[in-house]
């Protein structure tokens, strides 16, 4: 729907050609193509995150180095794995279970989730640019007839774009911080984190070592170390009650 509204009510009528006729111009065509590329990448990332294995923990023998035991799965689990009550499995580096993608976000599909947020935020930002140009050009063109449906549709997409830009943008910043610090959302509540290493290495563990593929929803060339260690953080002192 946003793509249709931007095309019919923003790009076509408000980017006039040199002859004065109202038709899609090179500027409008470029913006339309760019918007739909971002939208397609967002959908592709969403589907990959939805259908991909988030990082289901394999069965690991109980030993002194890995004494952790999942009471639900009744099997040994790595230190950085957590049980998802929705998916009914233990997921390595489980960040959270996302209802948007109907899947967990873990070690093997966090890249797709971040790209989904990234391209959704870009699509929303570009929508605001297109609508701003629409309003700017609308004041320069003296239309005798007001399209009430078009005005309502554009205002709706404007509000939707602002909402999704701030919503996905906030989630995106949290995910990037999580990757940089090598700490999942679940671990932050438990005052735990992965071992300290170079931030670039942390991003390679999520997006892969091939940098030019980081922005594409393709499977990253990563190998998950299910036995990686974990660090316990110092918990903040609770304020004494007066």
Catalytic residues: 98
Alpha-carbon distance 50 to 158, whole Å? Answer: 28
Q: How far apart are CA 92 and CA 64, in angstroms?
A: 19
Local structure of 9: helix, strand or coil: helix
SS3 of 8, please?
A: helix
In terms of Cβ atoms closer than 10 Å to its own Cβ (0-12, 13-18, 19+), residue 83 is: middle
Which three-class secondary structure state does DSSP give residue 91?
strand
Q: Give every CB contact of residue 109 below 8 A, 6+ residues apart in sequence.
A: 48, 49, 52, 53, 54, 55, 103
Where helices occur in the chain by DSSP H, the ranges are 2-5, 26-51, 110-140, 148-181, 185-189, 199-207
Alpha carbon 40 to its chain's center: 14
- Residue 220 corresponds to which tokens in the numbers above? 């990253």
């Amino acid at each position: 729907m946003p793509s249709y509204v931007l095309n019919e009510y923003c790009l076509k009528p408000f980017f006039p050609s040199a002859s004065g006729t109202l038709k899609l111009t090179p500027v409008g065509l470029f913006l339309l193509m760019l918007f739909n590329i971002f939208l397609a990448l967002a959908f592709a990332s969403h589907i990959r995150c939805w259908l991909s294995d988030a990082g289901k923990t394999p069965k690991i023998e109980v030993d002194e180095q890995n004494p952790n035991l999942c009471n639900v799965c009744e099997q040994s689990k790595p230190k950085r794995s957590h049980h998802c009550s929705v998916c009914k499995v233990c997921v390595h580096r489980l960040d959270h279970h996302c209802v948007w993608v109907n899947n967990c976000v873990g070690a093997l599909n966090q890249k797709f989730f971040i790209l989904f947020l990234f391209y959704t935020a870009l699509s929303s930002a570009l929508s605001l640019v297109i609508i701003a140009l629409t309003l700017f050009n609308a004041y320069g063109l003296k239309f005798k007839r007001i399209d009430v449906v078009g005005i309502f549709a554009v205002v709706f997409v404007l509000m939707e774009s602002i909402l999704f830009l701030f919503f996905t943008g906030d989630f995106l910043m949290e995910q990037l911080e999580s990757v940089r610090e090598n700490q999942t959302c679940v671990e932050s509540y438990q005052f735990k984190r992965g071992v300290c290493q170079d931030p670039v290495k942390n991003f390679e563990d999520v997006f892969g070592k091939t940098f030019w593929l980081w922005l594409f929803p393709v499977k990253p060339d990563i190998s998950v170390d299910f036995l990686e260690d974990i660090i316990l953080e110092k918990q903040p002192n609770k304020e004494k009650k007066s």
